[in-house]
Amino acid sequence: MNKNKEKIKIGLIGLGTVGSGVYKTLQSFDNVEITKIAVRNLNKPRNIKGLDNSILTDDAYQVVNDPDIQIVVELAGGLDPAYDLITTAIKNGKHIVTANKELLAKRGEELFNIAEEHNRVVLYEAAIAGGIPIIMPVKTILAGNSINKIEAILNGTTNYILTKMDVEGASYEQVLKEAQELGYAEADPTGDVEGYDAAYKIATLATITFHKRIKIEKVYREGITKIRAEDMKAANDLGYKIKLIASAYLDKQGRADVRVHPMLVSKKATLAHIDYVTNAVSLSGHPVGNVTLSGPGAGEFPTASSVVGDILAISAELGKTEYLLPMMRCQHHKTAETIDITDTENKYYLSINAKNNKGVIGKIGIICADNNISLQSIVQRGVCDNNTADITVITELAREKDIQNAIRQIEQDGNKVNSLIRVQV
């Protein structure tokens, strides 16, 4: 590279796991230079070789208001003050790289409008699946495709927990505690285990893939906290694995069905074999057919890989054109019409704890038939000490409204539906 060329100046907000990885990775490039870093705690010891403490500040506005900085990299997360910091930076003429999935899902529309108004670029490869390249491929290489289906594993913490439950036959509570001790799960794991993190990611991924805005409040979300060791075993016996799947479908009318919830995934499917902290995204469309990208969805260097890729993409264009990276900009302004979960059709797995009376299976079958639900299989898996039977049901395609109605009727008879999990079709 040309050593005489002036280096592009980068400002960093956040020097946690990812920020540290970005700092270390950028040391290998002689055309860019981090000149200011905002941190929460100036006195925190940092294991970063060659870090000049004089460039650290605990005032992030010093980064976004620095007239010399050309690219601001936001890695702090959350809505406040991230939104104000980024919009201030854009108005000050800076391009943005961010890994902030919550901000993109909740305020992306405003952010991209402000960026376009000021002719600045916001890149966010690291916000969806860590180190897996997905945003740039969708916007460039796959731009000639009409993609109508996304199925993905977008959260490493939940995938780790579900994999450990599957392998060890352990309970959710046991595995969560272990994941927290190992640092795979936060002390407050709600954002991961209740599906918020995956919901933010699928909302943004579906928006760019379908060329229509997906409102985060329209994304159906259900976490993994109710998954039991018994469900894992039953799923395996039936030829499935249980995964937290983030999915988005476009129907023939162009309406979007976007959701996050546990699913029984056939062992023949690729996503069934994405284990531990690995992430994967499967896209289906024309003319490409089916494409699956998998890799590390988090971590210091995998996520830094995506952040640095975005930084270098912007750096390569600076000074060469007045309108940077047109293909990477927001190209859509319509909001998608979305399908409510109650109006969807799915296959279902039900685990029912029923009184071990004669004809109990027949009665469950009648309730399902009365609600237009056909059964693929119904199996009694044994009798408990209290003379109740464990019954596992797999349905054919049925309407969500009908299955919820059937569950109410089954429970009115004094039975208990322990689990309802949708089955991948």
pLDDT value, residue 413: 81
Taken in order of first residue, the domains within the chain and their CATH numbers are: 8-127+300-328 (3.40.50.720), 135-296 (3.30.360.10), 343-423 (3.30.70.260)
pLDDT value, residue 356: 78
pLDDT value, residue 357: 78
pLDDT value, residue 333: 85
Which of 36, 101, 106, 201 is labelled catalytic?
Answer: 201
> What secondary structure letter does DSSP report for 238?
T
Q: How far apart are alpha carbons 399 and 178 in whole angstroms?
A: 38
pLDDT value, residue 164: 97
235 touches 349 (CB < 8 A): yes
Ramachandran sector of residue 326 (left: φ over 0; alpha: ψ -120 to 50; beta: rest): alpha
> Is 201 annotated in the active site?
yes
Backbone angles phi, psi at 261, to 5 degrees: -165, 160
> What secondary structure letter does DSSP report for 122?
E
pLDDT value, residue 1: 42
pLDDT value, residue 385: 65
Q: How far apart are alpha carbons 89 and 82 in whole angstroms?
A: 10
pLDDT value, residue 360: 87
342 touches 398 (CB < 8 A): no
Q: How far apart are alpha carbons 179 and 189 in whole angstroms?
A: 10
Q: What is the pLDDT along the chain (425 residues), one digit of tens a residue?
A: 444 578 999 999 999 999 999 999 999 999 999 999 999 999 998 889 889 999 999 999 999 999 999 999 999 999 999 999 999 999 999 999 999 999 999 999 999 999 999 999 999 999 999 999 999 999 999 999 999 999 999 999 999 999 999 999 999 999 999 989 988 888 999 999 999 999 999 999 999 999 999 999 999 999 999 999 999 999 999 999 999 999 999 999 999 999 999 999 999 999 999 999 999 999 999 999 999 999 998 889 999 999 999 999 999 999 999 999 999 998 888 999 999 999 999 999 999 998 877 888 899 999 999 999 999 999 887 777 677 888 999 999 999 999 999 999 999 988 999 999 999 99
pLDDT value, residue 306: 96
Q: How many CB atoms lie within 10 A of CB 408?
A: 12
